[in-house]
Amino acid sequence: MVATVTPLHRETPASLDPIMALVSADMDRVNEVILARMQSDVPLIPELAGHLIAGGGKRMRPMLTLACARLLDYGGTRQHKLAASVEFIHTATLLHDDVVDGSGLRRGKRTANIIWGNPASVLVGDFLFSRAFELMVEDGSLRVLRILSHASAVIAEGEVNQLTAQRRIETGEERYLDIIGSKTAALFAAACRIAAVVAEREDAVEQALDDYGRNLGIAFQLVDDAIDYVSDGETMGKDMGDDFRDGKVTLPVILANARGSDEDRRFWKDAIEGRRVSDDDLAYANRLLRETGAIDDTLARARQYGQKAIDALAGIGGGKARAALVEAVEFAVARAY
Amino acid sequence: MVATVTPLHRETPASLDPIMALVSADMDRVNEVILARMQSDVPLIPELAGHLIAGGGKRMRPMLTLACARLLDYGGTRQHKLAASVEFIHTATLLHDDVVDGSGLRRGKRTANIIWGNPASVLVGDFLFSRAFELMVEDGSLRVLRILSHASAVIAEGEVNQLTAQRRIETGEERYLDIIGSKTAALFAAACRIAAVVAEREDAVEQALDDYGRNLGIAFQLVDDAIDYVSDGETMGKDMGDDFRDGKVTLPVILANARGSDEDRRFWKDAIEGRRVSDDDLAYANRLLRETGAIDDTLARARQYGQKAIDALAGIGGGKARAALVEAVEFAVARAY
């Protein structure tokens, strides 16, 4: 087996187009499953779920399940229900996240909790989560059920961990990596891994796809955390500085705080504890983040995880599917520029 | 097969003691599973979950799983993990319910959302829900997974249905029965049904235990809804009149409204829509509920469902286990007196 490693530097801008083209027909099937299975006799359920599900998400996680199934030349249809299940789990966590964070804007639209209230968002999230498990049960693989039920528990653990780290400037890089490994990367990893189960491939392939998804997920979250400081609401679809105002200790802040003067560290402590959250404070935070190289280094870390994701695919499949999965990583790490 | 039907009228007060004695050793195993599986490296999770799980609940649902397994003379140990799974699902829904209702008191203790906040309650609920599925996956029965994932989706649907019926006095008895059939009875039914799966009994037995649990669940909820008007916080462990103040349209209100004068109906509309919620209003509501026989008839309905539950056991098992399951029903319907 020869490892073909594609470098992260490219001539033309990376895009999601190849992976979207690769799975386009499959994604139509997934969207049919999603639409059919978010229905309920209780009208508020499809109404609220549809707002988020039809709301312009990239369907990143189900796309990964589908692309990995292609990578392994899987010729069946089981991936459609399972990719829908992955998207339902993701949507459920988004609904609950927005309640937890009191968010008002996601993907450029008002969040469900703002429109329908927190109670409806909590309960419809629970419904989608249950539906995800019903879909898995219909598929009938205990191995898939094990992977996704474990991922779901890990995601919830990561979210609680993040909640208890919030407003605590002393949160270190290791704990931060633990948190994003759980709350984001676990579902990316599981979404990829289940494709190997469906294609009935050996453990080493399962593990490789898990590694691909996990490292991509970490890279993805690192870039998201950087974007929260460098983007504006229009390009990003959420409010810039949300993490700052919520007192979330992300890697850019951890690096800037560690590298800052005593005065800088007093600023970060005050900001993260919620005492300096004006627009001026945010502008000042941005200056510190740039001066200390914290944003650049966060993005450099993201590229390293991206490279690990690409390396994990060495020797598995090939052709268009692998090229598309590689370019998806390159896109993920290049988004901030 | 001879149906042995025990009447609901008895010489001595009904008690949960027989069912608790029946499953006492099994419940020790279940509690060990619960304690072991609510652990996490994130300390807030066992802390918050433990508050509710150790907080004096009767463990009604896992008790039913265990008692039904005894009824069928099942001699294995699979029921322990599965009963813990049922309790985790129930605990997750309680955590989310208290967020949805903004409750402050449950089982006589401050609720988790009051102590740790809504975000932590939502996320720890998600964790317990995921853990429930991990336990089922470890057991390995797709049939059990199908029953409990479906029950979970139905519970969430029932909760959303209840939310959209809230503050709407025009909610009818049928819709109300739909709601409690989903939000309460579905898990009672599933908790009983899975015992037949574990004991590898035929479909008719599964269905009979499902019927037992479902009717018991409806009876249980009807009595709860009556108790909310007739009890005080001390005997009940939650605030009296919570449903009234939350604008929940329960059967007592539906009956009193339907039987009331035009003036009474104006009062109920005002009250349910949140314009008459003082202590005097609650006292007035209680008078109307008694005068119209709404409370008595709600409890009479509960006894009818209780009788259906008892009838469902006809011809299945016998001895101490059946006597204990019958007396549990009698206890459930007699609680309000």
For residue A239, pLDDT beyond 70: no
List the single residue in B with minimal CA-CA distance to A146.
B137
Region B145-158: what's the mean pLDDT? 98
* Distance separating alpha carbons of residues B80 and B23, to the nearest angstrom: 11
Shortest Cα–Cα distance, B19 to chain A (Å): 30
Task: Please tell me the predicted confidence (pLDDT) of residue A88.
Answer: 98
Model pLDDT for residues B311-334, shown as the tens digit of each residue: 999 989 889 999 999 999 999 999
Tell me what the pLDDT averaged over chain A comes to.
93
Shortest Cα–Cα distance, B152 to chain A (Å): 6
Residue A149 near chain B (CB below 8 Å): yes
Report if residue B172 sits inside a domain.
Answer: yes
Domain tally for chain A?
1
Q: What percent of chain A has pLDDT over 90?
A: 85
Model pLDDT for residues A91-141, shown as the tens digit of each residue: 999 999 999 988 888 878 899 999 999 999 999 999 999 999 999 999 999
Report if residue B11 sits inside a domain.
Answer: no
Of residues A59, A61, A65, A60, the one with CA closest to residue A80: A65
For residue B146, pLDDT beyond 90: yes
Report if residue B6 sits inside a domain.
Answer: no
pLDDT band at A298 (very low <50, low <70, confident <90, very high): very high
* Distance separating alpha carbons of residues A103 and A113, to the nearest angstrom: 8
Task: Please tell me the predicted confidence (pLDDT) of residue B5.
Answer: 45
Chain A residue numbers touching B45 (CB-CB < 8 A): 157, 160
Mark which residues 43-82 of B lie under 8 Å from A by CB.
43-45
For residue A323, pLDDT beyond 60: yes
pLDDT band at A2 (very low <50, low <70, confident <90, very high): very low
Task: Please tell me the predicted confidence (pLDDT) of residue B317.
Answer: 85
Task: Say yes or no for a CB contact (<8 Å) between A96 and B155.
Answer: no
Residue A39 near chain B (CB below 8 Å): no
Task: Please tell me the predicted confidence (pLDDT) of residue B3.
Answer: 39
- The CATH number covering residue B52 comes to 1.10.600.10
* Distance separating alpha carbons of residues A315 and B168, to the nearest angstrom: 62
**Domain residue limits at B49:** 17-334
Task: Please tell me the predicted confidence (pLDDT) of residue B231.
Answer: 67
Report if residue B156 sits inside a domain.
Answer: yes
pLDDT band at B286 (very low <50, low <70, confident <90, very high): very high
Shortest Cα–Cα distance, B53 to chain A (Å): 18
Task: Please tell me the predicted confidence (pLDDT) of residue B293.
Answer: 97
Shortest Cα–Cα distance, B307 to chain A (Å): 29
Region B155-168: what's the mean pLDDT? 96
Chain A residue numbers touching B149 (CB-CB < 8 A): 130, 133-134, 136-137
Report if residue B12 sits inside a domain.
Answer: no
Report if residue B304 sits inside a domain.
Answer: yes
For residue B208, pLDDT beyond 80: yes
Tell me what the pLDDT averaged over chain B comes to.
93
Task: Please tell me the predicted confidence (pLDDT) of residue B150.
Answer: 98
For residue B130, pLDDT beyond 90: yes
Model pLDDT for residues B107-120, shown as the tens digit of each residue: 788 999 999 999 99
Q: In chain B, what is the greatest distance between 2 CA atoms, to the nearest angstrom?
A: 60
Model pLDDT for residues B42-87, shown as the tens digit of each residue: 999 999 999 988 876 889 999 999 999 999 999 999 999 999 999 9
Region A231-257: what's the mean pLDDT? 80
Instruction: Return the higher-pLDDT residue of A10 and A243.
Output: A243
Model pLDDT for residues A64-85, shown as the tens digit of each residue: 999 999 999 999 999 999 999 9
Distances (CA, A) of B322 to A324, B18, B205: 62, 10, 14
For residue A198, pLDDT beyond 80: yes
CA B103 vs. chain centroid, Å, equals: 17
Query: How buried is A87 (Cβ within 10 angstroms: 0-12 exposed, 13-18 middle, 19+ buried)?
Result: buried
pLDDT band at A230 (very low <50, low <70, confident <90, very high): confident
Chain A residue numbers touching B123 (CB-CB < 8 A): 96, 100, 156, 159-160, 163
Give one DSSP letter per residue of A182-239, joined into a string.
Answer: IIIIHHHHHHHHHHHHHTT--HHHHHHHHHHHHHHHHHHHHHHHHHHHH--HHHHSS-
Residue B174 near chain A (CB below 8 Å): no
Region A242-262: what's the mean pLDDT? 95
The sign of the torsion formed by the CA atoms of A115, A116, A122, A126 equals negative
> Hey, what are B166's tokens?
């809230």
Q: What percent of chain B has pLDDT over 90?
A: 85
For residue B6, pLDDT beyond 70: no
Region A31-49: what's the mean pLDDT? 96
Region A51-75: what's the mean pLDDT? 93
pLDDT band at B105 (very low <50, low <70, confident <90, very high): confident
Contact A336, A230 (CB under 8 A): yes
Task: Say yes or no for a CB contact (<8 Å) between A119 and B99.
Answer: yes
Q: What percent of chain A has pLDDT over 70?
A: 94
pLDDT band at A3 (very low <50, low <70, confident <90, very high): very low
Of residues A28, A130, A140, the one with CA closest to residue A88: A130
Instruction: Return the higher-pLDDT residue of B250 and A9.
Output: B250
How crowded is residue B317: how many other Cβ atoms within 10 Å of its Cβ? 20
How crowded is residue B128: how many other Cβ atoms within 10 Å of its Cβ? 30
Q: Count A/B contacts: CB-CB distance under 8 Å.
A: 138
* Distance separating alpha carbons of residues B186 and B165, to the nearest angstrom: 19
Report if residue A330 sits inside a domain.
Answer: yes
Report if residue B4 sits inside a domain.
Answer: no
Which residue bears the tokens 């005894």?
Answer: B70
